[in-house]
Amino acid sequence: MYQRILVPIDGSPTSDRGLKEAVRLAKEQRARLCLIHVIDQSVMPTLPSSGLYVRTVLEAMRRSGEIVLQHAMNAVKAEGVDADSRMVENFMGRVAEAIVDEAGKWRADLIVMGTHGRRGVSHLFLGSDAEMVVRMSDVPVLLVRAPATAEARQAAAA
């Protein structure tokens, strides 16, 4: 039985599918959710002359993250599910590491997240945060496929 479900969100349709599944599970299990949004500062330029630009972009990323978290919290509360939310700033390393670290800090017993389901060359070049979370996590991870990927598979099976 799951009591503490961590849900990384970014506002994408894939993330929204993961959130919906997490809400469904939380209702069934009477669990609490922790919604996290990771700001990946490691992708920011590090040139000294770009300080003002970096600060401006970082502030915009924080505002965007607050909006994503607020929309998700509103959706969760509308379903009657208890939840916390937090924004995590990732200074170094991969987003997956930040997610796994937060799962440990919050003592999550499940992580539910969307995955884009990339394969082949795009997967090799881009890597997969979802795959990294699965590999690194000490707790079970439920991956929810991207809407287009799931719909394409259902159509192919019909």
Provide the 3-class DSSP secondary structure of residue 68: helix
Average pLDDT over residues 148-154: 60
The pTM assigned to this predicted structure is: 0.83
Does 140 have pLDDT greater than 60? yes
Domains, the chain, ordered by start:
4-157 (3.40.50.620)
Q: What is the pLDDT of residues 76-90, one digit of tens each?
A: 999 999 999 999 998
Percent with pLDDT over 70 in the chain: 78
Core vs surface per residue 11-47: b (16+ CB within 10 A) or e: beebbbbbbbbbbebbeeeebbbbbbbbbbeeebeee
Q: What is the pLDDT of residues 123-135, one digit of tens each?
A: 444 458 888 999 9
